[in-house]
Amino acid sequence: MKFPTQATGKTTAEILLRLDAIDFRPNEPFQLTSGWASPVYVDCRKLISFPKERSEILNLAAKTLADAVGQDAFDVIAGGETAGIPYAALLAEHMSLPMLYVRKKPKGFGRMAQIEGHFDTGDRILLVEDLATDGKSKLKFCKALRDAGAEVSHAFVIFHYGIFPDEIAALKTAGITLHALATWWDVLEAATRQGAFPETVLQEVRVFLEDPHAWSAAHGGVASSVS
């Protein structure tokens, strides 16, 4: 995992808060698709509706990737169905690279395709999604791309929960480095600095971030990370 720089995390967190893409709701936990119960929710999809902020995020993404792996590290950008698709398209345009997208599973008709778009065997593909919680979808998408003949060593997200160490271990074992612009720690710091939420709410969020397994289990969600 390549954690965001302090400046990048701060800027990204401030953008997300400014667009009301962040919700802290400890008394009515969110049930995430991963099975986790969470007092926090981030809607990265909101960003696509705001051109100025969207451009800022794309500039940060391109710089983050260039600093981490170099300007010419990728041949193709791939978006994970569905929230990763617009970001993959935007980033591919920004970086002047081909783009494709990956389904969660092969569609049940026609060519039965799981990957839409063109790439050549051995192409170095960057997987793009909007966010990462426990890493399961990243592993599935990367496996599909590798099975089809691509080289996949990196994934990028706008937002990474940053609180599940098992996720990092699983991705590392699979040979995947995850790059992100911000984590919940960045958002909590920005929200505290701005006084965006009551201190009682922020304190409960800290409890979740320090022990998400226990917090999730106590609020009706799963208590384990990547399987």
What are the tens digits of pLDDT across the range 4-26? 889 999 999 999 999 999 999 99
Q: Do residues 155 and 128 lie in contact, with contact meaning Cβ atoms separated by under 8 Å?
A: yes
- Quote the pTM value: 0.92
Cα dihedral 52/53/59/62 (nearest 10): -130
Among residues 213, 90, 128, 126, the alpha carbon closest in space to that of 163 is found at 213
Among residues 27, 46, 53, the alpha carbon closest in space to that of 38 is found at 27
Whole-number Å distance between alpha carbons of 186 and 179 = 15
Q: Which residues contact 76 (CB under 8 A, 6 or more apart)?
A: 92, 97, 98, 99, 100, 117, 119, 123, 124, 125, 126, 150
Assigned fold of 6-218: Rossmann fold (3.40.50)
Give residue limits of the domains in the chain: 6-218
Q: Per DSSP, what are the bridge partners of residue 126?
A: 77, 154
> What DSSP state is assigned to residue 5?
P
Regarding predicted confidence, which is higher, 199 or 168?
199
Instruction: Output the pLDDT for position 13.
Output: 97
> What DSSP state is assigned to residue 47?
G
Whole-number Å distance between alpha carbons of 128 and 179 = 10
Instruction: Output the pLDDT for position 5.
Output: 83
Q: Under DSSP, is residue 27 helix (H, G, I), strand (E, B) or coil?
A: coil
Supply the mean pLDDT for the chain. 92
Average pLDDT over residues 54-63: 97
